[in-house]
Structures are given as structure tokens and as C-alpha cells.
Chains A and B, each alone.
Chain A
Amino acid sequence: MELVCPAGGLPALRTAVDHGADAVYLSLRGEVNARNFPGLNFDRKTLVKGIQYAHSHGARVYMALNTYPQPDLFDQATAAIDVAAAEGIDAVILADMGVMRYAAQTHPELKLHLSVQGSATTADALNFYHERFGVRRAVLPRVLSLAQVEQVIKRSKIDIEVFGFGSLCVMVEGRCMLSSYATGDAPNTHGACSPAHAVRWIETDKGREARLNGVLIDTFKPGESAGYPVICKGRYQVGDAPEHFYAIEEPTSLSTLDILPDLYRIGVRAIKLEGRQRSPAYVAEATRVMRAAIDACHENPEGFRVKPDWAQALAGMSEGRTQTLGALHRAWQ
């Protein structure tokens, strides 16, 4: 299993490579990638440096271009594809069929991966992207159980990558408009979920309010740890329920550490770490732990045991210090 690590910038890229990433994924600046945050991502000069660094250390570089560009942004997306091809990117990670057509036609040698934003949840959907655009690998949305992932791998003609650790997206990626509903900006349209410009923290008598474009996402009591206000991880009241609760999902992180041998056994080709918006220190620690765990899994899948220091390190980096297998564990659903 390949370890694919996030690189929000050049320092994170170097760190990921130094700590054992087989591949890193990154983006050019702009609204054509799904992590369009201020201060993140690459310009062409740093991209070239990043590719040189990775390639000289035997690591691959993937470029995520995974929003759905609207007419005004379409040329920016195709220009990014041209840059990827010209600079020797090892694969581009795409979601939009128009962009895929452009890439397949203009740069037939460029490898295409289907982004998690492409919302492909069945082998037929994956085979459709393979046959129509030559897609060779896909990242699965975090909505399938382990048994369902196994079925998909058995019937699909392409490699499967799954998220191994990081922030948990509860919705089918590419199908969630909660952020644009509240703020006007969302991953599909502007490459950002709950954009920072819409976030407000307000101290009140009842506690600290987290608001997103005015919408009250949650109220935190003094001392209570407060997560970033995304709609899906707020506390609400539903129907005639007597109290407010995490009606969609608690603040928690996905961690597949415990089931790495299962993922290996069913034929998962790559494990992806979420977090292009994270610090180089985070990337270093997450990469180090997952490198060691994947190596141990490859060496002896039957005898694989999670080492306490791995679990502790990942727990320390998790949202709300809790972890879940998400949909991979049927009961979560």
C-alpha cells in the first residue's frame, strides 16, 4: 500500500518526503482545488522545487484539481492541467468531467486519478470513469463499509485509495452544499468548506458562540474545547427532541490504524492522509506513524499490532481527541 501524504506548501512536502511518504498531493493556488485557503498551496516556482525534491527522494507528486470549475474558472483549471503535464506531475486528481475530457485529450500521457470529490461509490461508477477518461485510480468517498469497499475493489478495474487518517467528512464528497447554503462558498464552487471569512467567535453570557455567516453552529462552555465551525459538526435540536446534540456528527477524526491489515487484505492500493491545511509538524508526525504502521503491516499482516506510541501520537492530533472508523464500520452508519 502506497502512503499518500498532504503537502499544503513546500515545507510540508519536504517533511512528508523525509518521513517516508511514497507520494505527496498538492495544489496550485486558486479556486480550482478543494483546499483553497489563504497561505496554502504552490505557485509554479515552488511546484518545480517540490517536484525536484520529491523525485530526487523517490517520491511521486500528485496534483489535486478537484473543484468543479464554473465557466469563469474553466481556463484556470485547464491551465493547471497544462502546468502539471509540463512539469512532470505523476498524476492529476480530478473530479469534473469537462476537465477530465480536456486532460485525457490534450495530455494522453498524464495519469488521471478520480478525486474523492468525484463521488464514485460503486465499481460501475469507477469503471465508467476508467472507460470514458482512462482514470487509473480513485479515492473513495467516506460512505462505504469495509465489506462494501471490498466488493467495489473486486469488481472495479482501477486502483483504490482510501483515507487512512484525518478529519472526517460525513457527507459524500462532491455532493455537499451545506457550506454554500450558509456562506455562498463551498468545496465544489470555491474550493473551501466553511471559509474563514464567514467565521465569527462571539463571547456571550451562555458561552463562546461559533457562527458561520451568522448561523449559530455551536456554543461552548468555558474550558470546553471548540472545533472549527463546520455545519456538520455543530450541536442542534431536531424535530421535537428535548435537547441540542451533535445531530450530524461529533467533532472527531477518522483513523484506520486498527484495520490496516484488513485494508491491505482486500486490495486497497493506497492510504491517504487528509490535511493539506495542516502544519508541517502535523504532517511529519502523521506520516511517521503511518509509515511505520504500513511497513509493519506489509511485513507481517497476520501479526500486525498497533503500537501504543502510534495510537497515542494519532490520538493527540485528532479532533476532540476522539477517533472513528466512520462508515468503514457499519455501526457508525
Chain B
Amino acid sequence: MKLSLGPIQYYWPRQKVMDFYAMVAKAPVDLVYLGENVCSKRRELRAADWLDVAHRLADAGKTVILSSLALLEAESERLALERLVGNGHFMVEANDATALGLLVGQNFVAGPHINTYNAATLAELRAMGAIRWVLPVELSSSVLQQMHDARPEGLETEVIVFGKLPLAFSARCFTARAHNVPKDACGLACLDDPGGKYLNTQDSGELLTVNGIQLQSAEPSNLVEVLPDIAAMGVDVVRLLPEPEHMAEVIEAFRDCIDGHLSPQQALARIEGLFPRFSDGYWHGAAGMSWHQQMPV
């Protein structure tokens, strides 16, 4: 089972991105998905910069895939997508139907924002040229099992096993709203929050993470304890979503668990202190925010 790293969901300063991928180049991940897939106003790195990073990671032995925007609204975003698809070197991960339309006939990855909920859709994606699909975050292990078993030849399965879950996209920028400024005058406020902003309920619980036009789960999803089950199913790739801190430790823990150097419980113990809480409800067919250790048995 291969280990992948999803695209950075947040807006980080250029140097932080560069430092992060310098770490990743040496880290034990097999595949790296790169690029901006939340907000096209985030331009600390230009397209050429992303390609530089991609080549550097490829030189370090990683398989690089360029990930596309999840929500397109403006003509400029479509033109950027066309350039991404025509990059001539790296495979692209499609995250909306605009990208699917441009990628039909080429090899591509059907990303987590393509709604792939049944085997008939898998067959359709394969017929378009998909060589891998990513399980949508709200689907359970039993749905994964059924879909993975029924997938067409030549289609790999990838599952997100760690990270704050992308839950919703809007036309509205919630970070700008929290700063009480219009989206068009956001001042790139996301740069101040490398891990997004917590959205808290009135009884003080952290419910969500505000990340520009995206809402994420408050806590990272964490399926390290069920990695052996995922491997036993024959899933080809498991994906970690970058957080601004502790990613090197997270990558190591998952790698060591996949390779059998750590038990799932030991792997969990390694990363438990690094984050306040985790969730894994979707995997168990429950509310996504729940965590099995609090679930009634």
C-alpha cells in the first residue's frame, strides 16, 4: 500500500511551502498531490513555482500529481485549469466536472471532490481515463469495500486516512466574513491562519475550521488504527492531508505502521499528543465528527 500526501488546503507564505516540500522530498511518501485547490486568490506560488516544486519532488523519487481547484467560478480559473491540464509532464487530479471535461481521454485521478458514490460512476470515470479514484470523505468502510470490490480493471483506490476533512465549499469567503470585510477585499487574511480558524459553538466546542471559501472539520480525521483493515481490502493508496505542524511525525507514524514497524496502537500513540482530538465517524458509518473511543460499544 502506497502513502500519498494531499495538496495543502491552507494559504501558507511562500517560504513555508518551500520548507514543507523540502521536508516532503526526504519523507517516506510515495505520491505527492500539489497545487492550490481551495481559492484562486492564493498566489504566493505561481504556476511555474508549482512546477519547480513538482520537478524537485519527482527528482527525489516521488510520483507527482497536480491537483485542480474544487470550485471554479471565474473565466480566469478556467484558463488556469487549461494550463494545468496541458502541463505536458505531470498527471492531473480532477476535482470538478470542468476538469473532467478537459481530461477525458487522458490518464487522470478522480479526486475527493468528484462525487463517486457507486460502481457505475467508477465505470464511467474509468471509461473517461481515470486510473485512480479517491473515496469521498463521507462514505463508510462498508461502502468502500463494495465499491473497491466492484471497481473496473485499471482503476486504483485511494482513501484519505488523516487530516482535516474538506466538508463544504461556498461562493462566500468565511474568513473574510469573520474579518467583516468583503471577499473582494479579503486582504489575503488566510495568510494569518496557517491551519484555518476554529468555528466554535456557543457552548465553546470547536465544530468546524474556517478556511476561506471552504469549511473543514475541526479536528483531523485519523484512520491509523484501521490501516491493517484498509490494507487487507487491497486499497492501493492512503492519503494524508497536510497540517501546518507535525506532518513529518504523522508521515513517519503512518509509514511505520504500513510497513509493520509499529502496531496501529503504537502509531496512534505517537501522534495522539500532537493534536487535541481526532475523528473517524465516517469510516464507521456514523456522524463524521464522532471518534470511536467515545462511541458506545
Contact = CB atoms under 8 A, between A and B. Distances in A.
A151 B121 CA distance: 29
Contact of A238 (B139, B182, B200): B200
Given A172-B71, A238-B178, A128 B115 contact: no
Interface stretch (A8-16, A46-54, A119-127, A269-277): A119-127
B202 A330 contact: no
A234 to B, nearest CB: 8
B220 interface: no
B97 A119 contact: yes
Interface string A158-190: 000000000000111011111011111010110
Given A96-B115, A176-B168, A125 B199 contact: no
Contacts of A100: 124
A332 B201 contact: no
Interface string B90-119: 000000111011101000000001010111
Given A98-B124, A122-B78, A216-B201, A177 B182 contact: no
B89 to A, nearest CB: 22
B233 interface: no
A69 interface: yes
Given A124-B78, A128-B98, A216 B203 contact: yes
Contacts of A248: 170, 172, 174, 177, 215
B289 interface: yes
A250 to B, nearest CB: 11
A215 interface: yes
Interface stretch (B13-21, B52-60, B266-274, B280-288): B280-288
A71 B147 contact: yes
Contacts of A172: 71, 168-171
A330 B184 contact: yes
A119 B215 CA distance: 17
Interface string A64-77: 00001111101000
B62 interface: no
Contacts of B97: 118-120, 124-125, 128-129
B138 A188 contact: yes
B285 A184 contact: yes
Contacts of B281: 184
A254 interface: no
B47 interface: no
A200 interface: no
Interface string B223-260: 00000000000000000000000000000000000000
Nearest to A331: B182
A70 B117 CA distance: 5
29 contacts: A68-B121, A69-B118, A96-B115, A98-B119, A118-B97, A122-B98, A124-B98, A125-B96, A125-B101, A128-B101, A144-B171, A171-B168, A171-B215, A172-B168, A176-B169, A177-B167, A177-B168, A182-B207, A183-B287, A184-B281, A186-B138, A189-B139, A231-B207, A236-B200, A236-B201, A239-B193, A247-B178, A327-B171, A333-B182
Interface of B: 70-75, 78, 96-98, 100-102, 104, 113, 115, 117-125, 128, 136-139, 143, 146-147, 150, 165, 167-174, 177-178, 182-184, 193, 197-203, 205, 207-208, 210, 215, 217, 281-282, 285-289
Given A98-B120, A239-B178, 6 more contacts: A74-B119, A101-B120, A177-B137, A177-B288, A180-B288, A244-B202
